[in-house]
Structure 1
């Protein structure tokens, strides 16, 4: 059976729809793995779409074919979300989310597959990912290997536990 969604590159005009997705997805899915204090500090930051991603050409959205609702988003960049100098030909998976009521329908898998194909087409030899604890098993199932626990600094004084993961591209 064909999935009732399609994937396309995101644009600045999608900002509000992506914000709604992030505002709906993360508060519903992350509390199973993060305490309230961490989420109280992090959610205002991570539930906002980033212009650099929306204009990158390598960030994608999944839209419901029937309603045009954005039900998933994610992509990659050749610059790290934690800033600093990166390695040549290493891409970074960025800001992936799926609406909770669309889980287990192939949305995140389709987004990651498009992300992998796009990164390979742009000459990347590997992708890294800063996964939430919630998404760790998903990324493992997609072929990413855990590199270790990290703590991301989202803003001064705002720290978010994550799992650094990596995948070699063929």
Structure 2
């Protein structure tokens, strides 16, 4: 029988495990949505755990026993500007290991993020989503506002979607 998924707050010591899930997820799920050349350039940049998120107390690990199956979190600060706007929060660096898709792990993390954000006074949650993740966020009540061209590493541009829940 499969073990239940549990959540815990990430710590800086989880960086290698988080990076492994990010790399497996993005490296697999983004294929076909983005050009191979763009992926080769961008994956090393986006599949690294962010130390500020790991230390924030707002980044979570979903575990099946001891196996890390999904990661994600939220912040008050806009990841692009570093500024916080009253009532606004941001979904941050979500990923599910491709071997554990559609088992509820990312949804469990997102619900925890949304509940914490609401308790902190957030009424509008924004997400800059990859193209393949639009359906996941839509199923969680997010609406696509517009397509964005996200610059990564100063030189690589990837299409993404600005999505919103609430507000």
For Structure 1 versus Structure 2, the TM-score category normalised by the shorter chain is over 0.9
Q: 2:106 aligns with which of 105, 108, 119?
A: 108
Range moving further from structure 2, 81-90 or 154-163:
81-90
2:83 & 2:15 partners in 1: Cα distance? Answer: 28
TM-score scaled by length of structure 2 = 0.94
> CA RMSD for the aligned pairs?
1.6
Number of equivalenced pairs:
167
1:149 & 1:85 partners in 2: Cα distance? Answer: 22
Matches within 5 A, 1:17-166: 17-65=17-65, 68-83=66-81, 85-166=83-164
Long gaps (5+) in structure 1: none
TM-score scaled by length of structure 1 = 0.93
Deviation readout 1:26-55 (Å, 9 max, x if unpaired): 101110311102211210111000011001
**Structure 1 residue 81 displacement after superposition:** 1.4
**Structure 1 residue 9 displacement after superposition:** 0.8
Long gaps (5+) in structure 2: none
Structure 1 residues 167 and 120: CA distance shift in structure 2, 3 A: same
1:46 & 1:8 partners in 2: Cα distance? Answer: 22
Runs of 4+ in 1 over 4 A off after TM superposition: none
